[in-house]
Copies of this chain bind each other. A is one copy, B any other.
Amino acid sequence: MAGCGVRWQYILGAALSGALLLTAGILLGHYAIYKEPQTPEWLHSLSRDLDPALLEDFMNQVEAARIGQNLKDLSSKPHMATTKGDEELVQLILKAWRDPQTGLDSAMEGQYEVFLSFPDPEKPNSVAVVMENGSQAFISQETEKNLTADQADRDVVKPYAAYAPPGNPKGKLVYANQGKMSDYEYLVQQGIDLNGTIAITRYGGAGRADKAINGAKFGVVGVVVYTDPGDINDGKASATETYPYSWYLPPSGVERGSYNSHFGDLLTPYYPAKALSLHPPSCTCSNLAGNPVAEAAWQGALGCVYHLGPGFRQDGLFPNSSEVQVNVHNYRRINTSSNVMGLIRGSVEPDRYVLYGNHRDSWVHGAIDPSSGTAVMLEISRVLGKMVKEGKWRPRRSIIFGSWGAEEFGLIGSTEYTEEFYSKLQQRSVAYINVDIAVFANATLRAQGTPPAQSVIFAAVKTPAADSSLSVYENWKQHFSRNSSVYGVIPSLGSLGAGSDYASFIHYLGITSMDIAYTYDRSKTSARIYPAYHTAFDTFHYAETFIDPGFTSHQTVARTAGNVLIRLADALILPLNVSDYGETLQQMYSVAREAFQADLTHHNISLDPLWAAINRFQAAAAGLNQRIANLREEANPSPLDVRMVNDQLMLLERAFLNPRAFPEKYYYSHVIMASRSSSLATFPGLADAYDNAKEDGLWGEVHKQLTIVIQVIENAASILEPVAE
């Protein structure tokens, strides 16, 4: 009887003569009275909500020191994709996720044969200045200087431009600023003939490959990309001002990178047929370029006046007739790359997935990129795994961790994963959380995501940071804020581009995605990115000395991302506020109206149906939020009523997909969030079609793209409206 929870105090006063009968009565009342069906054991668990105590327990268990140790282990050796170092980390992560005390339910390797590009160890790539007589006046260094011993590791890959095809193009040097279309156009306007030239461009402003693709359109035969200290070192360029004396990039530092034209495996490469060569340079070339002086915005911090070229100036270091030759000896091959996948099975809705991932491969030691993120992921998975192994917890929904391979070559591992399981992931994924570089700098949180991610991130950060009495939220707001038409001044959630492994989740599959990190105090640095990025100086020593001493910012990121993860996995009703999409759509509309309306009216294209669609969307979102509020007030909501609204919240993002909207943009199907060439923060297809129409007069394409946007917003609204009306 004790097992039935009889409250003995109610019957202690009963006469002894009645005791037996009373007992019989209790038994009859409990078992014999017809109750159908018997209360099933799942009744309780199906309506269980997020447990604040569990959340606090998690937050308390996340340890900075363990993250530091993870980071040390992960970055002890170079681990470029598919190398020995990478394979060792595969084993390290599998071991962690299979640990009997702190591991997950299961862990496995998913392998892909991926198309990669490496420098030839026998024939170093180089940039040379070649005089008229054929002799070399200058040749670039092969790799970084050995400053902290890490750079001497024999597995450090020499700086190279992955996927640059082999070749030795030669020509007059021109300085093309950031290699944007507008930069090349400016040079042409200055009367410079770009045909047959080698362009030297700074990192920044345009994607790596775009610098070359753009140049090719103007006849440029080779592109040299370098890191200007003005962009990354707050102007510091000398050896004594830079690493190991500060976090700034030493003069010998070279940023490696992939020059893939689109993400994913390139087996069928979408690459300009024209032979292009690309190579990071020594940075002494630029002050030698002759003729017109570059305008102020083009000047860098190499301590001299930048000229445009073509060719070298009369009285300079090299004879005026010298040319620059780019020597690329890269080879391409297909290697086996692994994703490591870890699973915690959901207790109530195992067919709902909360995804969390980061890439594993680096260019060199990759302490910050990506090991800071992996160190955080391993600490989150350790704490959650421990709670599961101890029997204290099992999430409502399944949690899937992914350690992606070959991200640096073009988000390959994560993209292959989404290609292999596209239906399953589209049908079942609640959201994807990406923590790549966890800590760029230790000043403030920085989060990017699609609008429904805002609410869950905000909920997770309204607690004090690890090393401060200020909440993460308040600190974030002090650094990056915006004035929301709905909420007033709030932290500013950035939008997702395609810079890390969230790209295929959001753009290809339409899964609500977010990227979480700690970053700079912008009042203290204007560095384009942390200076050791993609160089041989991105080491554990660099990270612990200059980026996050004590690893407290790592700890805050782990707590934040883990908190978001637990909320998404455990909340009875998904903490995604779809109304926030309405605000974004409205902003985009305002920008479009401001910029395009006059021309559109002139061409008989009306924005009114777009405005009507956005209003319908907002009304539908508000209606759904009201129904959710009502559901929360029900004492015992039906599990299927809860599932219904959760499916609406989860699947909204999918409704913004149209795989036929941008057939020329590989993988980009999300009509609202796709990439755009236009600089305006508005509907990408519409903005680009508008820009094109201004050039070529094809206003029909503008009308088509407007129709696509309207259709997708109407379609999305219908997802939020009552399901049976």
Contacts and interface: CB of A to CB of B under 8 A. Distances in A.
A723 B398 contact: yes
A402 interface: no
Interface string A642-684: 0110011001001101011001000000000000000000000
Interface in A142-162: none
Contact of A17 (B17, B29, B420, B639): B17
Interface residues of A, number: 77
Interface in A571-605: none
B644 A350 contact: yes
A9 B688 CA distance: 81
Contacts of A638: 40, 42, 46, 348, 639
A23 interface: yes
B715 A343 contact: no
B25 A4 contact: no
A121 interface: no
Contact of A32 (B7, B24, B643, B660): B7
A577 to B, nearest CB: 19
A725 interface: yes
A296 interface: no
Contacts of A15: 21
Contacts of A715: 420-424
A660 B44 CA distance: 45
A420 B714 contact: yes
B427 A719 contact: yes
A629 B35 CA distance: 26
Given A28-B11, A346-B724, A659-B660, A423 B37 contact: no
Contacts of A345: 724
Question: Counting chain B CB atoms within 10 Å of each CB, which of A26, A348, A640 scores highest?
Answer: A640
Interface string A332-376: 000000000001011011110000000000000000000000000
Interface in A4-22: 4-7, 10-11, 14-15, 17-18, 21-22
Contact of A424 (B25, B33, B719): B719
A351 B644 contact: yes
A428 interface: yes
A523 B159 CA distance: 78
Given A4-B33, A640-B643, A724-B346, A38 B635 contact: yes
A30 interface: yes
Interface string A688-725: 00000000000000000000000100111011000111
A719 B37 CA distance: 32
A525 interface: no
A110 to B, nearest CB: 12
Contacts of A18: 17-18, 21-22
Contacts of A468: none
Interface string A417-431: 001111110011000
Given A29-B26, A423-B718, A654-B423, A723 B350 contact: yes
A106 interface: yes
A723 B21 CA distance: 51
A457 B36 CA distance: 33
Contact of A21 (B25, B32, B427): B25
A684 to B, nearest CB: 19
A487 interface: no
A486 interface: no
A647 B646 CA distance: 14
A632 to B, nearest CB: 15
A39 interface: yes
A76 interface: no
A137 interface: no
Contacts of A38: 635-636
A43 interface: yes
Interface of A: 4-7, 10-11, 14-15, 17-18, 21-30, 32-40, 42-44, 46-47, 105-106, 343, 345-346, 348-351, 398, 419-424, 427-428, 635-636, 638-640, 643-644, 647-648, 651, 654-655, 657, 659-660, 663, 711, 714-716, 718-719, 723-725
18 contacts: A4-B33, A7-B34, A18-B21, A18-B22, A21-B25, A22-B25, A25-B28, A35-B39, A37-B44, A37-B636, A40-B636, A348-B640, A351-B723, A351-B724, A420-B714, A421-B715, A423-B654, A640-B643
List the 8 closest pairs (A to B, CB-CB), nearest first: A25-B25, A29-B29, A40-B636, A18-B21, A26-B29, A5-B34, A423-B655, A351-B723
Given A26-B29, A30-B33, A351-B724, 17 more contacts: A5-B33, A10-B28, A11-B28, A14-B21, A17-B18, A28-B29, A37-B44, A40-B635, A398-B723, A423-B715, A423-B716, A423-B719, A424-B715, A427-B654, A427-B719, A428-B723, A643-B643
